[in-house]
């Protein structure tokens, strides 16, 4: 698979490191745990959206866009990385934030990612939970066009066949890192939301005939819906790459047992996972995605899902900036006044 055919612009630091998690492995009594550090992509505190944006922003430049529009939840890491990418490329950025949690905590509504969105110079507008966010973006794009601007709309999470190329590329990067250190990668586990990360990984691992088993841990939708979203986008990504033969449906696997009460709402497992990783590995997960992903991984380990000598790589997708919006959930909020 030759990805050099697709326009890409450099925004991040690659390859990101692949590191052992020796303390967590010892604490849980195996399997052998590793972490792929996509929290260290380098753009505005990092995260998985940087890889997608390297392809998406190249398309925006090709379209001669002067403003990008995107959307996400209030504490969207995607919005923050998009705002940073736009700043770096001299484009304006409009962000629409959907209130998916109903939290009125000012740390949630204005600190963390929201503070950084604004610091990068993006315009931030709010929409109530359940709004048709794609339609809201398209309306805004029409207004901007009427005013003479050239907007480029990035769907939520950057999860399009173009954005997913970032994770096709990541699959290849990770496979060659593992090979270079003689590591047989039995499983790759990560948090899955808008599906672009998993779809790209499915297509990329399939393209290189990898036998690593990929498992997404859902953070929003129920399993059937999540797997359907990932499969659909993986197929469209494979088509976009003109990969023959299609994507076998059984390559898509998502476990959505760790969502809890809903997207962005804390669970006991997430709080435990964030604290364990912070205290054993010095690693910062996030409350919405990687914390729930790791909660799922820890629970599956405790249930004996893996063999003791399996090598399990956790893809750390970033997001720790959102912790500053969730101090309350950890009982670590400074008292006011
Ligand atoms: C967006 C995001 C994810 C999920 O990736 P998708 O491609 O949307 O499935 C996981 N972790 C973090 C920290 C994210 O910001």
Question: What are 30's two structure tokens?
Answer: 């195996």
In the three-class reduction of DSSP (H, G, I as helix; E, B as strand; rest coil), residue 152 is classed as: strand
Kindly provide the b/e burial profile for residues 251-288, where b requires at least 16 CB atoms within 10 angstroms of the residue's own CB. Answer: bbbbbbebbbeebbbbbebbbebbebbeebbebbbbbb
- Do the strands 213-218 and 187-192 form a parallel or antiparallel pair, or are they unpaired? parallel
Helix, strand, or coil (residue 145): helix
For residue 49, the CA-to-ligand 1 centroid distance in Å is 7
Provide the H-helix boundaries in 211-303: 223-240, 268-280, 290-302
List the structure tokens of 164.
Answer: 């997913």
- Across the range 238-243, mean pLDDT stands at 96
Query: Assign residue 97 a region: left if phi > 0, alpha if psi is -120 to 50, beta otherwise?
Result: beta
Contact by Cβ (8 Å): 5, 284: no
The closest of 8, 93, 14 to 46, measured between CA atoms, is 14
170-226 pLDDT, tens digit per residue, is 999 999 999 999 999 999 999 999 999 999 999 999 999 999 999 999 999 999 999
Active site residues: 76
pLDDT digit string, tens, across residues 31-89: 999 999 999 999 999 999 999 999 999 999 999 999 999 999 999 999 999 999 999 99
Residues in contact with ligand 1 by the CB-under-6-Å rule are 47-48, 77-78, 157, 159, 191-198, 286, 289-290, 317-319
Q: What value does the mean pLDDT take over residues 9-21?
A: 98
Nearest CA to ligand 1 atom 8: 194
Q: What is the dihedral of CA 100, 69, 154, 77, to 10 degrees?
A: -50
**Backbone dihedral angles phi then psi of residue 256, each to the nearest 5 degrees:** -110, 30
- In angstroms, the CA 172 to CA 76 distance is 27
Q: Tell which residue, 140, 141, 163, has the closest CA to residue 152.
A: 141
Helices 223-240 and 161-180, packing angle to 10 deg: 90
Q: DSSP 3-state assignment of 259? A: coil
| Pair 202, 227: CB distance under 8 Å | no
- Report the half-sphere exposure of 328 (CA within 13 A, side-chain side): 13
Other Cβ atoms closer than 10 A to 168:
31
Confidence bin at 337 (pLDDT 50/70/90): very low
pLDDT at 5 over 60: yes
Ligand 1: centre distance to CA 80 (Å): 12
For residues 215 and 50, give the distance between their C-alpha atoms in angstroms, rounded to a whole number.
21
Ligand 1 pocket, mutate which of 215, 319, 325 (most atoms under 8 A from CB): 319
What digits encode the pLDDT tens for the residues 73-122?
Answer: 999 999 999 999 999 999 999 999 999 999 999 999 999 999 999 999 99
pLDDT of residue 336: 52
Structural tokens at position 105: 């905590």
């Amino acid at each position: 698979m030759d990805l050099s055919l697709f326009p890409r612009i450099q925004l991040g630091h690659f390859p990101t490191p692949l590191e052992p998690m020796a303390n967590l492995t010892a604490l849980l009594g195996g399997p052998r745990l590793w972490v792929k550090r996509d929290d260290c992509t380098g753009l505005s505190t990092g995260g998985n959206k940087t890889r997608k944006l390297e392809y998406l922003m190249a398309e925006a430049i090709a379209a001669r866009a002067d403003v990008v529009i995107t959307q996400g939840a209030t504490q969207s890491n995607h919005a923050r990385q998009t705002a940073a990418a736009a700043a770096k490329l001299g484009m304006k950025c409009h962000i629409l934030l959907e209130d998916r949690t109903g939290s009125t905590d000012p740390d949630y509504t204005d600190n963390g990612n929201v503070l950084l969105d604004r610091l990068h110079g993006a315009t931030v507008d709010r929409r109530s939970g359940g709004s048709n966010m794609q339609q809201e973006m398209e309306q805004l794009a029409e207004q901007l066009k009427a005013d003479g601007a050239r907007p480029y709309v990035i769907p939520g999470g950057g999860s399009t066949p173009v954005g997913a190329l970032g994770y096709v590329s990541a699959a290849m990067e990770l496979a060659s890192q593992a090979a270079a250190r003689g590591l047989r990668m039995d499983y790759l586990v990560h948090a899955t939301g808008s599906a672009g990360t998993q779809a790209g990984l499915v297509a990329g691992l399939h393209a290189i005939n990898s036998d690593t088993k990929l498992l997404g841990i859902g953070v929003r939708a129920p399993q059937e819906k999540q797997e359907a979203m990932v499969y659909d986008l993986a197929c469209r990504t494979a088509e976009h790459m003109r990969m023959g033969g299609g994507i076998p449906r059984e390559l898509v696997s998502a476990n959505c047992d760790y969502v809890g009460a809903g997207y962005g709402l804390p669970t006991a497992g997430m709080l435990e996972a964030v604290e364990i990783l912070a205290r054993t590995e010095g690693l910062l997960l996030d409350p919405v995605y990687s914390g729930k992903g790791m909660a799922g991984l820890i629970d599956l380990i405790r249930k004996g899902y893996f063999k003791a000598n399996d090598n399990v790589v956790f893809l750390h997708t970033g997001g720790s900036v959102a912790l500053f919006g969730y101090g309350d959930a950890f009982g670590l909020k400074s008292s006011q006044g």
